[in-house]
Every structure is written in structure tokens, then in C-alpha cells.
């Protein structure tokens, strides 16, 4: 007889409760944020064929499902506390579940958080994780705080090794799509970037009070940058006139494409492919953030304390528009869209 729903939870997901006043298994989980803390909440749903390929190792899928959610907490500067998992699967596949749970628990342990509840059901494979973090009231990094003249920064793996960096996940996807071929070890490196992103939680927390705005790069750098510019532009307009609502105004940016941090694998590809991967790739889970030029030293120190690289890649402008510059400081034409789940 196959495992039932409750045995499945007991076998693969129940672990001793450490932080939550309850373990899993009651109608609700109970969380008690510390006094003066706000609770940051984010929720991401992963669907086979959209967010992961059927070929992904279950351990890596478990890692990624939690990592993309932790990345949202990182973009708010929140300290992770707990998460819930809702899981729909066609059937109970014990090998899959054991691997998935191992990858999930390993990343959860690395961030000292625990599973506090969730749901399991039969159905097409679908993973929905909701993460909870805490941040001192008023200290969350938001998308709307960028101001003209701010520097634009992006994080990258410390040391910029063979694997990792903006654009690697997209490069791996192009290999799977058959449009690019790579030597085996190069493919493994970029595939790891796609399948095991590292959420920049420590950096996000270190940037509290330093960054003026932040977002994580999940749908492609240009697309996510536009969200930040629009939200910040609307905030500037609201402050100045008290009339304009969100979406009516936007800030602009000058972006130095040569400064975009990329892995040696990506750097060896043709320039057009590099730009596509860097600017519209998505699935990067690096932090894209702004800070006043006076805070450059603080940004560098925050990155060092989080053992993450950061690179200054441009400047926020008062006038709308994304101005791309090439390695010689000349305007660069680029046509590309951010990822949209219903248009791609």
C-alpha cells in the first residue's frame, strides 16, 4: 500500500520543532515575532517545465524551491524565521521525496529555519513555499527608495569562480534548449547556478540602513530594474506633488554593461549571448540595489561581512529611460524583454 498523506508528512517532513511554539500537525502554525519586529512574508509557486525541468535532481529542486523564497526575504533585509510548504504530486514517489526533503532541509538548516506547516495533495507537480522573516519595524529594504544620483549595485558570488554570476542560469537554460553547447564542466557549473541559487540573505540584512532600495533578480535584470525604477519614481512623485499614483512616473538609469559581473564561462560566449543572459536571463537571485554614492564604503563593508561580491553597475537618473553603455561608454542598443510567465 502506498504511503498515505499523514505518513508522508511524518516520514519526510516532520522534524523536532525548535522555534515555532507548535510543531507541524495542528490547524495552524503559531509564530511569535519579537517585540518591535515586523513579519516579512513571501510566497513563490514552482511548476514543472516553467521553474524547473523534469531532469532536475530532487535535492536541487528542494534547495531551489526554498532558495527563491529566501531570496525575497533577502531583498527585504529580513532574517528568515520559518516556512510552510504546499506540495502537489501525481503520486507518492519516495525516492523523489527523500531527495527533495534532503535538499530542502539542508538549506533550511543553513539558515536556521524550520518547516512549520503546509499541505500535501495529489495533482500535477507543484511546489508552493511561503517564507516568514523578521525585520525591525521601518527597516525593511523596499523597492521604492531609489533616488536620482544613487549608485546601482548588483551582488555576485565571492571570487567570481567558474560557476555563478548573473546570466549563468539563462546560459544553462539555453544549453537545455539546444541553442548553445558547452564543454561538460562548464555546463555543470552554469547548471548548478540555475539549479542551486544562493539566496543573499546575509547581504540583505547587512544592507539595512545602507541601501536605499533593493529587489532580487528573478525575472531578468532589466525587468526587475524597471520595477524598482517605477516604484521609486512613483514614490518621488508622491513626495514632491502629493498627486501621482504608482505607475504614473518612473526614474531612469544609466547602466554600464561592461561592469556586469559574469562568470568566466559566460564571459567566453559571444557578446550578444552574454548581453541576453546578463540583461534578461532571470533566475539569478542576486540582489540589485541602490545606495547614495556617500555610502560606497558601507556597501563594500556590508558585502565583505556577508562574504559576497558586489559590483557598481550604474547610476539612477531623474529622467525616465534605461541607457545602456558599452565598454567604451558608448550607447548600446539592446532589444529584450523580461521574463513573463504568460508571454514566454
Q: Between residue 59 and residue 98, which ones bind its own copies under the rule CB under 8 A?
A: 72-73, 75-76, 78, 84-88, 91-92
Least CB distance to its own copies at residue 181 (A): 28
Angle at 12 between CA 8 and CA 13, to 5 degrees: 100
- What is the x/- site pattern for its own copies, positions 112-151, by CB under 8 A? ----xxxxxxxxx-x-x-x-xx-x-x--x-xxx-------
Binding residue (CB under 8 A) for its own copies from 11, 15, 47, 110: 47
Nearest to its own copies of 177, 328 (CB atom)? 177
Binding residue (CB under 8 A) for its own copies from 32, 106, 264, 319: 32
CA distance 327 to 315: 16
CA distance 204 to 73: 8
Binding residue (CB under 8 A) for its own copies from 177, 328, 330, 343: 343
236-244 long-range contacts (CB < 8 A, ≥24 apart) are 236/147, 236/148
> Taking a C-beta distance cutoff of 8 angstroms, is the pair 61, 52 a contact?
yes
CA dihedral 41, 47, 52, 58 (to 10 degrees): 80
- What is the x/- site pattern for its own copies, positions 261-300, by CB under 8 A? ----------------------------------------
Binding residue (CB under 8 A) for its own copies from 40, 210, 277, 291: 40
Judging by DSSP bridges, how do beta strands 79-89 and 114-122 pair with one another? parallel
Least CB distance to its own copies at residue 272 (A): 25
Q: DSSP letters of 185-243?
A: HHHHHHHHHHHS----HHHHHHTTTT-SEEEE-SS-HHHHHHHHHHHHHHHHHHHHHS-
The binding site consists of 27, 42, 44, 51, 72, 118-119, 143, 216, 218-219, 283, 339
Nearest to its own copies of 91, 328 (CB atom)? 91
Amino acid at each position: 500500500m502506498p504511503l498515505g498523506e499523514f505518513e508522508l508528512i511524518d516520514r519526510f517532513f516532520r522534524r523536532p520543532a525548535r522555534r515555532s511554539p507548535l510543531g507541524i500537525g495542528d490547524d495552524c502554525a503559531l509564530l511569535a515575532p519579537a517585540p518591535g519586529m515586523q513579519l516579512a512574508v513571501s510566497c513563490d509557486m514552482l511548476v514543472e517545465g516553467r521553474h524547473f525541468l523534469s531532469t532536475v535532481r530532487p535535492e536541487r529542486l528542494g534547495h531551489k524551491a526554498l532558495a527563491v523564497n529566501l531570496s525575497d526575504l533577502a531583498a527585504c533585509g529580513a532574517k528568515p524565521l520559518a516556512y510552510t510548504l504546499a506540495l502537489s504530486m501525481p503520486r507518492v514517489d519516495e525516492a523523489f521525496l527523500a531527495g527533495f526533503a534532503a535538499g530542502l532541509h539542508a538549506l533550511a538548516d543553513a539558515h536556521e529555519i524550520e518547516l512549520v506547516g503546509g499541505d500535501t495533495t495529489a495533482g500535477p507537480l507543484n511546489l508552493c513555499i511561503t517564507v516568514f522573516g523578521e525585520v525591525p519595524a521601518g527597516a525593511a529594504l523596499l523597492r521604492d527608495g531609489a533616488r536620482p544620483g544613487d549608485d546601482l549595485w548588483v551582488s555576485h558570488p565571492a571570487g567570481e569562480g567558474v560557476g555563478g554570476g548573473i546570466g549563468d542560469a539563462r546560459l544553462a537554460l539555453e544549453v537545455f534548449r539546444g541553442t548553445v553547447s558547452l564543454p561538460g564542466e562548464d555546463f555543470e557549473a552554469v547548471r548548478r547556478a540555475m539549479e542551486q541559487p544562493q539566496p543573499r540573505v546575509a547581504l540583505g540584512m547587512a544592507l539595512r540602513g545602507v541601501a536605499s532600495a533593493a529587489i532580487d533578480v528573478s525575472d531578468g535584470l532589466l525587468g526587475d530594474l524597471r520595477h524598482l525604477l517605477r516604484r521609486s519614481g512613483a514614490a518621488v512623485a508622491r513626495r514632491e506633488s502629493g498627486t501621482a499614483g504608482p505607475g504614473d512616473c518612473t526614474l531612469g538609469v544609466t547602466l554600464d554593461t561592461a561592469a556586469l559581473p559574469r562568470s568566466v564561462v559566460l564571459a567566453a560566449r559571444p557578446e550578444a549571448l552574454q548581453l541576453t543572459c546578463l540583461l534578461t536571463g532571470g533566475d539569478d537571485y542576486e540582489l540589485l540595489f541602490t545606495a547614495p554614492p556617500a555610502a560606497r564604503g558601507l556597501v563594500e563593508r556590508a558585502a565583505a561581512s556577508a562574504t559576497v561580491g558586489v559590483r557598481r553597475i550604474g547610476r539612477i537618473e531623474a529622467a525616465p529611460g534605461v541607457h545602456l553603455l558599452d565598454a567604451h561608454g558608448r550607447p548600446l542598443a539592446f532589444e529584450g524583454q523580461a521574463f513573463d510567465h504568460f508571454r514566454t
